[in-house]
Every structure is written in C-alpha cells, then in structure tokens.
Homo-oligomer: A and B are copies of this chain.
C-alpha cells in the first residue's frame, strides 16, 4: 500500500468517525507518524482527499448496480440491487459513511458530479420497480415513492450495520429482501 493509499484509508476512517471538518490534516498525519506538511507530497488538498473517498464509494455502488442484467425478472433484479447495496455498506462501511455524510462539504461542482452518479444509481431501483409494476409482479400506487422508501431503508443501514455484528450479511440480505419484496406486493 503506497503512501497515498494509506492517506486515503486513514482519512476515510477519521472522517467517518469524527466528520470531515472535525478532522484536521494534522490528525491524519499523526495517525501515519508524519508531520502535517508532509501529506502534501502525496495529495493536493484536503478536499481532494474527500473527493477521492466519496467518488470511490460511488464507484462501488454503481459497479454493483450496472453489473445486474436488466432483463432479469424484476423480483430478481431488485433482490440483486438490495444485496449489492448491503454488500457495499458492509464491506466499505467507513467509506460509505463518508459518502452519505460528508459529500455536502465538496465544492458545488464536485457535489453536482456526485449527485449525478447518485441519481443514476437510484434510477436502477426506480426502473426495476416500474418494470415490476408493468409486468404485474409488483403492486404499488406510486413507484417513485416506493423507490425512495426502499432506498431510504437501505441507505440508513450504514448507521447500525456492523460487519462484525451478530447478524451476517447473508442473513441480513435475506431478511431485508423479504421485507422489500413484500412492501412492493411482490411476494406472498
């Protein structure tokens, strides 16, 4: 792991624990046994560090979603989306936390880029639900609200999901998909 990667990793941990503004560059340096100024050989600015963390987390979420065959039956597609989302959060809890919590501290231009990626991600959920409704697999009055409902239930999990916790990822995925599919009227 080269220095830059170490810096991003350490920053991700500290940002997720204390927040972006409550973490100083000197905090990051100290955790790596460096002096504050030495970080700038490897990074451009504090904001660049935040951007890398947030954007890489967006990569992870999108990589899962785009790898799902859109021709799958909507029920299977949604199951895969739920599983992928929980997997990213469980495997990348610190970066996911920074992604959800700290993206507002990016510059307006970088915020727009993240919003665009987030919208593209959410569209996968909305489309899976809409196609399920069209095919009669799901029954919901308002697919947009249903998508927000499902994404809300998933996003908040970064607040309480602990990979080392009593519930393993498989078991949680199973229970969450069951709740989601039943909410959408897609399962007995």
Contacts and interface: CB of A to CB of B under 8 A. Distances in A.
11 contacts: A19-B19, A140-B179, A141-B175, A145-B172, A146-B179, A148-B157, A149-B175, A149-B176, A152-B154, A152-B157, A183-B183
Contacts of A22: 21, 105
Oligomeric state, in number of copies?
Answer: 2
Interface string A158-188: 0110000001000010011011101111000
Nearest to A167: B145
A40 interface: no
A27 B147 CA distance: 37
B101 A175 contact: no
Contacts of A142: 175
A104 B19 contact: yes
Given A19-B19, A21-B22, A179 B101 contact: no
Contacts of A183: 179-180, 182-183
Interface of A: 18-19, 21-22, 101, 104-105, 140-142, 145-146, 148-157, 159-160, 167, 172, 175-176, 178-180, 182-185
Contacts of A156: 151-153, 155-156
Contacts of A152: 152-157, 159-160
Most chain B beta carbons < 10 A, residue from A105, A148, A150, A160: A148
Contacts of A148: 157, 160
